[in-house]
Structure 1
């Protein structure tokens, strides 16, 4: 069983929890066990506990974000030791890119990062797809290590360390095994073993849902405004207009040589469903109860997401769990396809 160590900043704890959920199958299959600093018991020496688990880890996951890079402990201590162990061949280091940040020139920048192509998890339209890719890559690494382990054990049995090219004596057989066991017991007596899997089902309040909804709407407005500006900058024949509307709504219009070729409006709520949804209309001046698609808030045991109502079946995303980025891309795709078909 491979031991995974999470090196992360506490600002990213919610994302770490999501990753741990996606690693659950490997835990259940007996492939891995995980450890992070939330596994430290009260009264234990924090630095000692982290050092011991960092040294005993087979795989070290660097959960990379701007907060991680700004953390002195994560960057200067945990990351440096992780890379030393990677260079020694005693551990595998896998950078997991959580958020967009300037990580390519960091010391771990030469390592292959996950998810695919180093695209940050939070920028994927469907974060579940990103976490699935991360989990698959970790599984591949762990299974690869498991295949190498029997060969290494054979060499060690002959008195060789597979990390070196010369013979090394096997451990002193004159020392009683019980003595080693008692020493190990004494070293761990102050820290009782327990699971790091202590996350509980999260309950989301009306406030949480409202905040998620309005934060996503604000993000979507900025997303559309910036995308329109970039579209106009790349195409000389295109003019655009972004217009905030009353009642938490905005419209977007694209003109080609002065003629309207695409338009839409997006607002909070719709069809008497209160403020728990975002609605999309192909009309720039549609009424509050007129829409062509709607995103509603749903949640699982750990996070909230948006689910399309399913009125645009040809898009094939009616079952998606969309983040604020994914929701914005979903509505933008409906809008821009008027120029693409």
Structure 2
């Protein structure tokens, strides 16, 4: 780990996608154990009784905001049941050079099918490249563990780019 303080990664999902949040947490366990990242599930944190102020503070501190995108998530955004306060990320999303200057990254991760047209029109998420890179939602993968491993690997690269992790010396 480059820094002594843990690097917070927030998983943001709606209740119907809770099983996907559990899966990514499993695939990030190695980085939690060996590289000192801290993972928090924003939805579970609030459900477990943490105050909204504490939860918002954790979100504000997080270096990575992994958003699990599905039709239910998009619907929650539309219905104002979910708010993503990331106005600086909206500006940065329009200009990739600016996104590299933010102290955090928003990473949309497609877990279930969502209308491409609706997603691309979203003022925040529509301009940010999502994962998996092939654009296929994780639910559609025959081997979902392979999809999650790809997400974890991409997340590791983001943390290296942010200066939060050292590049691996392993050749395998």
Shorter-chain-normalised TM-score: which range? 0.7 to 0.9
Which of residues 29, 34, 45 is equivalent to 1:39? 45
Matched residue, 1:244: none
Given the superposition, is the C-alpha separation of residues 2 and 44 from structure 1 closer, same or farther in structure 2, using an over 3 Å criterion? closer
TM-score (norm 1): 0.39
Structure with bigger helix share is: 2
Q: CA RMSD in A?
A: 2.4
| Count of residue correspondences | 144
Matches within 5 A, 1:1-341: 1-36=6-41, 37-40=43-46, 44-45=50-51, 47-71=52-76, 72-74=80-82, 77-78=83-84, 81-82=85-86, 84-85=88-89, 87=92, 89-102=102-115, 103-107=119-123, 108-146=125-163
Q: What is the CA distance between 1:50 and its match in structure 2?
A: 2.5
Structure number with greater CO (CA < 8 Å, separation at least 6) is 2
CA–CA distance in 1 between the matches of 2:47 and 2:164?
34
- Compare CA radii of gyration and give the structure with the larger one: 1
Q: Distance in 1 between matches of 2:27 and 2:120?
A: 25
Where structure 2 has 5 or more consecutive residues not aligned to the other structure, the ranges are 1-5, 93-100, 166-172
More strand per residue: 1
Change (3 A) 1:133 1:49: same
Alpha-carbon distance, 1:52 to partner: 1.1
What TM-score, normalized by structure 2, do the two folds share? 0.74
Q: Cα distance 1:2–1:85, how it changes in 2: closer, same or farther (>3 A)?
A: farther
Structure 1: state its 5+ residue gaps.
149-341
Query: Is 1:54–1:82's contact at 8 Å kept on the other side of the alignment?
Result: no
